[in-house]
Amino acid sequence: MKGLFIISGLGVLAMLAEIFKFKRALYPIVLIGILAALVANFTEFNNNMSIDQFNNMIRFDNVALAFSGVILLTAFFWFILANEYFNNETSLADHFSLVLFAITGGLMLTAYSNMTTLFLGIEILSIPLYVLAGSRKNDVRSNEAGFKYLIMGSFASAFLLFGIALIYGATGTFDIMLIRAKINTGTMPMFMYAGVVMMLVAMCFKVSAAPFHFWAPDVYEGSPTVITALMSTIVKTAAFAAFMRLFLIGFGSISDTWGMALAGIIALSLIISNVTAAAQTSVKRMLAYSSISHAAFMLMGILALNAQFSMRAILYYTLAYSIGSIASFTGLYIVSKKGDETYEAFNGLVKRNPMIALGMLISMLSLAGIPVTAGFFAKYFIFTTLIASPYKWLLIIAVLTSCVGAYYYFKIIIAMYFKKSDKHEPVEFEMSHALLLGILTVITIILGLMPDMILNMF
């Protein structure tokens, strides 16, 4: 809860900075603020005071706090990655406040316990992102990304709302726990299930699962690289926290309505994302497809409906994925300074800068799910949850597509370690980025060696 306030307060502060002219100081202030939020977040941990606030509009229980922690941590790393993005004189404060508002929305999504807060959270998260995606105003591709995101996001929101309305119609409440209680006690009219399915569709859109994923590659590609990193980490984590709360807690008991549909979505996502990613030439676009495939993996955790363990599995997965993703975007950011975002940009990186290549290597291995990186345990937990469910067959698809996944991640590794580059000069990079990559690499390995740290959080 405090984290939420601190972050939204920081957003407002950023706006004031424009007026009171302390834009230069903003960057450190924000970093410190996020750390403060992170600390505040953890002080609330295992602290019952934080439960049930504002008439149960929002509920920062341990699950929510854990996911908030992931978001805040990722945000911290993201700000380090994005330091150059905040050099733009014109919109410096705007950028800060937009990102911070988006994070506020993300934090809400981890903790909502009412349809209102869910909806508002999604919008608070999305609207700044529409803007950020289109923030390179003179670049048509950026415009297009923002525009596509906006249209499709609003369209999906309409479905979400229609679903909420139908559920409200059947239960007479927006409170998730009450809805859950109503579902468990009585028979529900058919249209409520339609509402659940519509919400499923909308949430699947937010996490970019096929066939609602089409926006993701285009938007990821068109947006500035750092914004893409933001979207594929924080936004994804938040969306998953929301998805999980809604479907594991809210609609867990009627999973036979949406289970099969979700399984189909997962299967389709796995196949389409991995297969399409294999044919990409742009790394950024590949990472977009890869994020779809990871989303499908996380959805498997939800599908397994093994409430306690699913949540841990998803928490771990989001963390591992966010870390790996930020790291790979950092690598991409470093090598693509000259604008080349294809695999060729990575050619011969090991000769030009072995440490960055090593960091990239570990993050790629993590994304591909090779032990003993965090990504491996993430996949492992998902497998463990799913294997006890009736949807075992998904594992077969998961395995097959993971192999395809290895193909495109290893394309980068092969490019870095094997391909010859025509450039020989060392890569230019900022110290902070190298440091970031190093820290993320270490975290990836530590998470891989000691997954208990995260699992025992709640």
Letters for 8-47 (x = contact with other proteins by CB under 8 A, - = none) are x--xx--x--------------------------------
> How many helices and strands (H and E) does the chain possess?
20, 0
Between residue 349 and residue 388, which ones bind other proteins under the rule CB under 8 A?
365, 370-372, 376, 380, 383-384, 387-388
128 binds other proteins (CB under 8 A): yes
> CB-wise, 358 or 439, nearer to other proteins?
358
Stretch that binds other proteins, among 40-48, 70-78, 271-279, 437-445 (CB under 8 A): 271-279
Between residue 385 and residue 444, which ones bind other proteins under the rule CB under 8 A?
387-388, 395, 398-400, 402-404, 406-407, 410, 414, 417-418
| Cβ proximity of 57 and 19 under 8 Å | no
Among 120, 177, 249, 307, binds other proteins (CB under 8 A): 120
> CB-wise, 83 or 157, nearer to other proteins?
157
- Tokens 């080349």 belong to 340
To the nearest whole angstrom, how small is the minimum distance from the Cβ of residue 412 to other proteins?
Answer: 12
Between residue 62 and residue 101, which ones bind other proteins under the rule CB under 8 A?
89-91, 94-95, 97-98, 101
User: How far, in Å, CA of 107 to CA of 10, rounded?
Assistant: 14
| Cβ proximity of 183 and 218 under 8 Å | no
Among 25, 151, 435, 442, binds other proteins (CB under 8 A): 151
Task: Note the helical H segments in 112-189.
Answer: 115-133, 140-171, 176-185
- Tokens 């990722």 belong to 74
Between residue 225 and residue 254, which ones bind other proteins under the rule CB under 8 A?
none
DSSP bridge partners of 114: 175
185 binds other proteins (CB under 8 A): no
117 binds other proteins (CB under 8 A): yes
Stretch that binds other proteins, among 151-159, 230-238, 422-430, 432-440 (CB under 8 A): 151-159
Between residue 189 and residue 228, which ones bind other proteins under the rule CB under 8 A?
189-194, 197-198, 200-201, 205, 211-212, 214-215, 217-219, 221-222
Stretch that binds other proteins, among 36-44, 165-173, 292-300, 431-439 (CB under 8 A): 165-173
To the nearest whole angstrom, how small is the minimum distance from the Cβ of residue 21 to other proteins?
Answer: 14
Query: Amino acid identity of 417?
Result: Y
Length of the chain measured in residues:
458
Residue 398: which of 297, 306, 301 has the closest Cα? 297
> CB-wise, 78 or 417, nearer to other proteins?
417
Among 41, 110, 135, 228, binds other proteins (CB under 8 A): 135
Q: What values do phi and psi take at 22, rounded to 5?
A: -125, 40
Among 157, 178, 182, 434, binds other proteins (CB under 8 A): 157
Among 30, 65, 70, 156, binds other proteins (CB under 8 A): 156
| Cβ proximity of 245 and 112 under 8 Å | yes
- Tokens 């590659």 belong to 217
Q: How far is CA 444 from CA 263, 322, 361, 365, 432, in A?
A: 29, 10, 11, 10, 18
Among 29, 31, 53, 390, binds other proteins (CB under 8 A): 53
To the nearest whole angstrom, how small is the minimum distance from the Cβ of residue 76 to other proteins?
Answer: 20
| Cβ proximity of 225 and 284 under 8 Å | yes
Tell me the two tokens of residue 325. 């993703």
> CB-wise, 22 or 418, nearer to other proteins?
418
To the nearest whole angstrom, how small is the minimum distance from the Cβ of residue 202 to other proteins?
Answer: 9
Contacts of residue 143, defined as CB under 8 A and 6 or more positions apart, other chains included, come to 134, 137, 222
Between residue 318 and residue 347, which ones bind other proteins under the rule CB under 8 A?
none
- Tokens 């676009």 belong to 285
Q: How far is CA 284 from CA 220, 222, 374, 409, in A?
A: 7, 9, 22, 12
Query: Amino acid identity of 267?
Result: A
> CB-wise, 145 or 345, nearer to other proteins?
145
Among 16, 25, 39, 140, binds other proteins (CB under 8 A): 140
Among 108, 203, 230, 286, binds other proteins (CB under 8 A): 108
Among 36, 51, 165, 439, binds other proteins (CB under 8 A): 165
To the nearest whole angstrom, how small is the minimum distance from the Cβ of residue 441 to other proteins?
Answer: 15
Using DSSP, state whether 137 is helix, strand or coil: coil
User: How far, in Å, CA of 25 to CA of 314, rounded?
Assistant: 36
Contacts of residue 107, defined as CB under 8 A and 6 or more positions apart, other chains included, come to 3, 4, 7, 68, 71, 72, 238
Size of the site for other proteins (CB under 8 A): 129
Could you give the angle at which helices 23-43 and 62-81 cross, rounded to 10 degrees?
Answer: 160
